[in-house]
Amino acid sequence: MSPITYKNTSGFDKDIKRLLKKFRTLEDDVEVAKKNAIELFHLMKIDNNSVELIPNFCTDELKICKIKKFACKALKGRGVQSGIRIIYAYHVLTNTVDFIELYFKGESENENKERIKNYLGNI
> Residues 65, 51: contact at Cβ < 8 Å?
yes
Query: Is the pTM above the cut of 0.75?
Result: yes
Strand residues in the chain grouped as ranges (E) = 5-8, 51-53, 62-67, 84-91, 96-104
- Residue range 5-122, CATH number: 3.30.2310.20
What pLDDT, in 10s, does the model give residues 54-83?
999 999 999 999 999 999 999 988 888 899
Q: What share of the chain is helix, strand, coil (3-state, %, to 5)?
A: 30, 25, 45
What pLDDT, in 10s, does the model give residues 90-113?
999 999 999 999 999 988 889 999
Q: If DSSP codes are grouped into helix, strand and coil, which group holds residue 123?
A: coil
